[in-house]
């Protein structure tokens, strides 16, 4: 079992090697410049690596990029093995990163909250307080009320 620091260093190395190879070494048109490697995670035994990526484009380009990464998996794994110099080169699994979709969902929710706040602000623009501006009694008023009751 490897320590976490070694797994982190190997994950960083895999991310760098795969990104550089995709940018310069692989001639597959499906993997053009619109594929970005966002993160890499390696298991504790250093046998498997999960590479997260995003694709700039529509659903068709995402599917083409996924197919291109699967076909280039062997080349990328041999490059990682050459650069890492470890006894066993980890197997690579490519997973589309859900971060852009999550960010888009959060942005939509924030927009809805802003619109709701604007509606509330608009409705309360001409409104006044039910009990006046300051509904609380002051100690000075209590004394004058007490004198009037005697």
Query: Which tens digits make up the pLDDT trace of 34-60?
Result: 888 889 999 888 889 999 998 887 888
Cα R_g (the chain), whole angstroms? 30
pLDDT band at 71 (very low <50, low <70, confident <90, very high): confident
Percent of the chain having pLDDT more than 90? Answer: 20
**Highest averaged pLDDT of the listed ranges 45-49, 56-60, 128-132, 142-146:** 45-49
Q: Is the pLDDT of residue 28 over 80?
A: no
Q: Give me the pLDDT at residue 115, please.
A: 92
Q: Is the pLDDT of residue 2 over 60?
A: no
| H/E stretch holding 146 | helix 139-149
| Helix locations, 72-98, DSSP H | 73-84
Q: Give me the pLDDT at residue 142, please.
A: 58
Taking residues 72-92, report their average pLDDT: 88
- At what angle are helices 73-84 and 59-71 packed, to 10 degrees? 60
Q: Give me the pLDDT at residue 149, please.
A: 52
The answer, as to whether pTM is greater than 0.85, is no
Task: Determine the distance from the C-alpha atom of residue 106 to the mean position of all C-alpha atoms in its chain, rounded to a whole number.
Answer: 10
Q: Is the pLDDT of residue 124 over 90?
A: no
Q: Is the pLDDT of residue 135 over 60?
A: yes
Q: Give me the pLDDT at residue 84, please.
A: 86
């Amino acid at each position: 079992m490897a320590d976490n620091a070694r797994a982190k260093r190997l994950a960083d190395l895999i991310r760098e090697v795969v990104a550089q190879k995709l940018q310069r070494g692989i001639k597959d048109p499906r993997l053009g410049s619109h594929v970005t490697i966002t993160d890499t995670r390696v298991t504790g035994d250093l046998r498997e690596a999960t590479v997260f990526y995003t694709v700039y484009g529509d659903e068709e380009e995402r599917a083409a990029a996924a197919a291109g990464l699967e076909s280039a998996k062997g080349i990328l794994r041999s490059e990682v093995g050459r650069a890492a110099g470890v006894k066993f080169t980890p197997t690579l699994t490519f997973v589309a990163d859900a971060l852009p979709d999550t960010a888009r969902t959060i942005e939509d929710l924030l927009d809805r909250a802003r619109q709701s706040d604007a509606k509330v602000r608009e409705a309360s623009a001409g409104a006044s307080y039910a009990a006046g501006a300051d509904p609380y009694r002051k100690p000075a008023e209590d004394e004058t009320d007490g004198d009037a009751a005697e």
